[in-house]
Structure 1
Amino acid sequence: MTDTLLHTAGIHGIKIPDSTLGHAITAFIRDTETELLFNHSSRVYFFGALAGQQRNLSFNHELLYAAAMFHDIGLMEPHSSEHLRFEVDGANAARDFLNSYNLDPSDIEKVWTGIALHTTPGVPEFMHPVIALTTAGVEMDVLGLTYDKYDASVREAIVAAFPRTPNFKEDIINAFYNGIKHKPDTTFGNVKADVIADKEPHFHKGNFCSVIRQSRWKA
């Protein structure tokens, strides 16, 4: 399905925001991220927005789209600092981008917080819907935690539009590692420490990667 159709027809009632900002976000992330991360981030938006439907939450789709699409940009070298958590790098990049679109500062902060907390389970779900649903989308696409809450036809439509690679589980772990290996200390206290431990045995932790590999996803 083309970007144009996803802006107009959507999937199960969820559309990519058909606005100047929505198109700008799509273009920026497509030009900046790898195809793996672009497709992953797009799926995060759809799974997050569908979770909002399931929970009867009211939310701004543009803000959720911004948070979902920027949530992993801190893994990319041009947006990766030497000493900040990659989540904060991504949140800062989103804030810088959105500042040029005259959004309410409080809305930009919602996006910032959604990105900054997306690897901190147990907290975002109690916060503003944009923040909660960003994490919900990530947890579905990476961990498969709510896999059975989505009809197979919906999962298949989203993956058809934004494919998972044949070896996505390992590919996403490698993408995480490549984006944070130069600053392992920034993973202290969050799930990305498990990624470092998986690739560097002397830094031993492994729970996060085990959850990914044991998810219901086939790839």
Structure 2
Amino acid sequence: MSELSIFVDESGEWGKLSEYYLITLVFHVQSTPITTHIEKYERHLTDSALPDIPFHAGPLFNGHDDYEDISFADRKRLFFAFFTLARNLPFRYVTFAHRKSMFDGDKTRFGAQLKRDLADFFLSHLNEFQSYETIKVYYDNGQQIVSNALKASIDYALSKEAVVYRDAQPKDYRLEQAADLMCTIELTALKFNAGEETATDRKMFKDRRDFRKNYLKILRRKQF
């Protein structure tokens, strides 16, 4: 049975804490193995005396949550280790990004835009998506606006009988963690392009040129 998995992550929220809102979808054909890559990554962590913490870019960058007692040098090593894993994993991705100020605080209009983004994408690749007998969508239902947009657009564009939704906790799926990485990379690209990068961005990636050369261009080879 041909099966496609879609892992979803978002960056931002509707309040005033973020300038941008992004949603990233990571696509993995289930018959394509990933175990060897993951085992190599986990072995590298063990050999390097690094903790195997489920990747979460925000806390890793800022030293919060599970990363609280880890030095910046080791957090950067953890980031690069997961970046290397993602670089080697067989997946494709797409990110939709919007500056929230463009919607003048109208959450309904923003939600409609997300639905259009997703529906247009699925319809533009309809032949490929219809070739799968089953499509499993993994999302932690963290934000209702994303859940609503996902279900509305997928149900509109694809056969409801073929789609299965799964509640996915990032700690359980490396590909869900990869979606978090891709979302973070695309957000960082927006900030560097607009001259809005933070001190943490510069500490992690140095400058726009190095970021584009060493990270962005490499991972964008995986764009759908």
How high is the TM-score relative to the length of structure 1? 0.28
How high is the TM-score relative to the length of structure 2? 0.28
Q: Which has the higher contact order (CA 8 A, sep 6+)?
A: 2
More strand as a share of residues: 2
More helix as a share of residues: 1
Q: Which has the larger radius of gyration?
A: 2
